[in-house]
Copies of this chain bind each other. A is one copy, B any other.
Amino acid sequence: MLDYKLLQALAAVVDQSGFERGAKHLGLTQSAVSQRIKLLEARLGQPVLVRAPKLAPTPLGRRLLNHVQQVRLLEYDLLDQIPALGEREQRLRLAINADSLATWWSPVTGEFCRRHGVLLDLVVEDQDVALKRMRDGEVAGCICATPRPVQGARSHPLGSMRYRALASPDYVSRYFPNGLSLDALSRAPAIVFGPDDRLQHRYLEMRGYQAPFPHHLCPSSEGFVHLTQAGMGYGMLPERQVARELEEGLLVDLDPDSFIDVPLYWHHWRHGGSTLEALTDHLLVASGAWLMQGPV
């Protein structure tokens, strides 16, 4: 068998982002942890960690971490059957898109995590990076907009998030006093999540506008809502995220007949143990109340 003391040292250093913290986490000295990792590298004949500019696992290190996480999930199942073996605490490392985390994720998974004693390591990623993390074995599951699973994983459709073009009432009266003309759309500042966010572009194409447009960039779901509410721009927002702001009139729908539905998929390792399976079953049922069902 592999020497899990060495692998555990690697996992602790990466999870805790440093040798000192990793050592503290394991209750070891820093030099003990450092020696274990050196021994691991000596046995493999290759580095498992890049030290600079930022501590990170090498591709080999990542494959080992992937394995450690899978072993932990299996151990967890075993602990379930033989409680005397030790403390039953489970960490699931998952990549979630920012808008899911800002809306349905916590209400849907909170009770599940409490009941199963699961602690979450959440990573917020756009969908392409999330799938790359699945492929590298850095996360055991992810929520993203791509249906096709990576090798060794399964994916399930969860439903769609509906995005609408929203703005503050004073913004609308300033930039669109006469409705959504192409001229007004070319001048009205929009808010875009980041360079990879094409929702705003898709919306403008739906309206027949394809040229550049002024925009703020704000890579934070909550920041996005705040910028919109402060009248800095209009933006494509998940309607569920701002139900209250819409109800209270802090935000208004620029274009009630138009929306964009973004389908979401749950991806998970095939052999991830019973907790990951239970989470999958739970998500498939419980996300239904939050996401639009049916073909998009």
Give residues in A with beta carbon < 8 Å to B: 15-18, 21, 24-25, 89, 96, 98, 101-102, 105-107, 109-111, 113-114, 119-124, 189, 195-196, 212, 214-223, 226-227, 229-232
Contact = CB atoms under 8 A, between A and B. Distances in A.
A274 to B, nearest CB: 20
B215 A119 contact: yes
Nearest to A196: B17
Interface majority SS on A: helix, strand, loop or mixed?
A: mixed
Contacts of A18: 195
A227 B106 contact: yes
A91 to B, nearest CB: 9
A86 to B, nearest CB: 14
A123 B232 contact: no
A121 to B, nearest CB: 4
Nearest to A230: B110
A24 B230 CA distance: 30
Contact of A106 (B219, B221, B229): B229
Given A96-B223, A105-B223, A109-B230, 8 more contacts: A24-B212, A98-B220, A102-B226, A106-B227, A110-B231, A120-B232, A122-B216, A122-B219
B195 A226 contact: no
A222 B102 contact: yes
A241 to B, nearest CB: 9
Contacts of A21: 195
